[in-house]
Amino acid sequence: MRFKIPSKQPAAFKSSALYLAGRTNGLSTDRVAWMEARNLETTDPLAASAIMEATAAQNLRCKKPVYHFVLSFDPKDARRGKLPPEVLREIAGEAIERMGLTEHQMLVYAHKDTKHPHMHFLINRVHPTIGKAFDRHNDGRRLTELCREIARERELNIPRDKERIRELEKVDDFDLVESLDTPTEGEYWQAKREEREPQIAMGKGEVKALREKVQGHFYNAKDWHDLTARLGAQGVFLQRKGQGLVLAKGERFAKLSQMGKGVRLTELEDRFGERFDVFMAERMKDLARDDAPEAQIPGYENMTPAEQRRAKKLREAQLAVERKNADAVLEVDAADLDYNYWKGVEAVYRAGERRISRLERDRGWLKKTLPNYEAREKASEAQFNQSLFDIFRNPEKAAERWLKLEQTFGVADAERMVKKNANLLGRMNGARYLGADTEARGNAKRAFRKLHLKRRRWREQQLKLGHHRDRIEANRRALRIALNDFAMLRLRADVPFELREIMKEKAMRRAKALTRATDKAILASNLAEDRKMELLRARRTYMERKRERERDRDYNRTQGLDYLDR
């Protein structure tokens, strides 16, 4: 269960009510599972919005009477039958009461057009009898608290927010903090799109302990290969995330910048003389080549295709037997390390795709907006030239002289010199007879007073256009580099493989190892204590997710049988 308060609140009741009811172009009323009106005499969106507008007009000081927020729920809770319509109505009533909005006019719409059930609350902030406006101060905090309380009371899932994480970090029980941490909402949805497990940011204590352990390796490593080997020995892996790197340890991560002064991606790339993505591209090929079954089969290249297929199957069967007969804890340790190595490779691959997509999107926007900058620059130039024409007898010569003054003395001094002595640019239009200016000379003097402003605007538009063109060129160079790096990542050399299939195989090996090992065996092993805790955490997480999948499968099977019975 979570909430959302749109940063841009609706401007009118009518348009919002029609939109939520599905009565606008492009929408359908089928999206509404149910709706209810509170403190209104009708459920019709047009009539209800008219009543709410009339009520809001009683308070002239309230400029934004429309208040809208959303409560949404985890699809897993819906699949488990925890959110029937009657329960959602009860939750809506509880939320309204705890927010102190019981006496306010509102429309509540429950929508079913997305995977996650959600309810929209369209509320009139102005009280219908006393005319006082509902105070929205700290409404986000109040919604956070009521979501926690309702989710806890009804055993619903709820994402962890940053404030809650900070509170948990103050708890002395380290295991409790870790067990309650969940990924951020952005990381959750990105991981879902990329079909991977979401990562969780380390707490302050974890970051400090990790920094003390690995900080020296960043200063002493000679190159990327040396650095990744040093970190890998500690069970830590460098992974791409966004525009930078993170240190991943299991499902948890810490930012590279949290490891100390000078530990930044750009600084490490400059010191090692190699971009991280290029290093990972070469590493990707080496890992795939070493991991391929044919690399471990003598004489593979001289075999016929049929013999190669049989040899591959035989080698894979031998590996499966070796892993099954190996020590369970050593196998889960090796499988987990192997899986995390390939997760780093996959992260670089995903980052390369996102990088190209972002640069191509930026390129389209830059090219689209270039004509606007060119048009503004030409318009400001035309205004400047028109002013020169209105002021000087030879405007072309005046423009040349101004530009020459700027090149010789600089922009500021040239402007000051021209303002002091207009004759530096040439003779003005009109004349002066018997101590009085002709009409043309008077007009020229009046136009001259704003000439420096016209030149300043033109210069500003020239700078903006030049900056925009520089951005286009920088984008072109960055896109070329990104495409080259990604081409290296996709390069298969003489070892054909697909990254998705490799990750699937690594995940299956790790899952089998985690299932076979036991908590008791891991604790009794000779591994380092922090490595034991990491493997225990990984095993418990995997087993919990396995049980959850089984519960969902059983529930779906039961629902199917119920449907057949009906």
> Half-sphere exposure (CA, 13 Å, Cβ side) for 20?
31
Question: Residue 121 is part of a domain; what is its CATH number?
Answer: 3.30.930.30
Q: How far apart are CA 231 and CA 214, in angstroms?
A: 7
Indicate the residue among 255, 273, 291 that finishes a domain: 273
How far from 89 is each of 121, 451, 543, CA to CA, in Å? 12, 68, 35
Please tell me whether residues 182 and 227 are part of one structural domain. Answer: no
Total structural domains in the chain? 4
For residues 51 and 74, state if they share a domain.
yes
Residues 18 and 147 in one domain: yes
Structural domain contains residue 128:
yes
If you search the block for the tokens 């309230």, which residue do you land on? 62
320 domain residue, yes or no:
no
> Would you say residue 168 lies in a domain?
yes
Backbone phi, psi, residue 526, to 5°? -95, 10
Residue 451 lies in a domain: yes
How confident is the model over 226-273, as pLDDT tens digits? 998 888 878 788 888 777 888 888 778 888 888 888 788 888 988 899
Helix (H) or strand (E) holding 118: strand 118-124
The Cα–Cα gap between 240 and 194 comes to 14
Residue 87 and residue 22 share a domain:
yes
Exposed e or buried b per residue across 16-42, where buried means at least 16 C-beta atoms within 10 angstroms of its C-beta? bbbbbbbeeeeeeeeebeebebbbbee
Q: Which of 255, 185, 268 is nearest to 226 (CA)?
A: 268
Flag whether 559 is in a domain: no
Q: What is the pLDDT of residues 494-552, one digit of tens each?
A: 334 567 777 788 888 888 888 888 888 888 888 877 778 878 888 888 888 788 778 77
pLDDT at 425: 92
pLDDT-flagged residues of the chain (< 70) = 159-197, 284-298, 300-301, 312, 315-316, 318-320, 322-326, 489-498, 555-566
Residues in the chain: 566
Contacts 24+ apart (CB under 8 A), 299-304: none
pTM above 0.75, yes or no: no
Q: Which of 423, 457, 490 is the last residue of a domain?
A: 490
Structure token pair of residue 34: 């149910």
Give the C-alpha separation, 1 to 147, whole Å. 6
**Residue 233 and residue 187 share a domain:** no
The 3-class SS string of 453-513 reads: HHHHHHHHHHHHHHHHHHHHHHHHHHHHHHHHHHHHHHCCCCCCCCHHHHHHHHHHHHHHH
DSSP 90-115: HHHHHHHHHHT-TTS-EEEEEE-SSS
The residue type found at 542 is Y
pLDDT, position 188? 65
Given CA atoms 150, 152, 157, 162 in this order, what sign does their dihedral have? Answer: positive
Statement to judge: residues 405 and 439 lie in one domain: yes
Assigned token pair, 5 = 């308060």
Is residue 292 included in any domain, yes or no? no
Residue 340 covered by a domain: no
8-state DSSP, 293: G
Instruction: State residue 408's pLDDT score.
Output: 92
Q: Tokens representing 492?
A: 């298969």
Are residues 89 and 9 located together in one domain of the fold?
A: yes
Secondary structure (DSSP) of 119-173: EEEEEE-B-TTT-PBPP-TTHHHHHHHHHHHHHHHHT---PPPHHHHHHHHT-S-
Shared domain for 89 and 182, answered yes or no, is no
Q: Which pLDDT belongs to residue 491?
A: 61
Pair 142, 170 in one domain: no
CA angle 281, 283, 286 (to 5 degrees): 115
Note whether 29 and 113 are same-domain residues. Answer: yes
Segments in 326-450 forming alpha helices (H): 328-391, 395-409, 411-420, 439-448
What is the 8-class DSSP label of residue 526? S
* Residues 96 and 19 reside in one and the same domain: yes
Largest Cα span, the chain: 115
Phi, psi of 211 (to 5 degrees): -65, -45
- Per the CB < 8 A criterion, the answer to whether 124 and 13 are in contact is yes
Q: By percentage, how much of the chain surpasses pLDDT 90?
A: 33
29, 44 Cβ separation under 8 angstroms: no
Q: Domain range for residue 422?
A: 361-490
Last residue in a domain, options 458, 490, 522: 490
Is 94 found in the same domain as 58? Answer: yes
Rounded CA Rg of the chain: 34
Please check whether residue 565 lies inside any domain of the structure: no
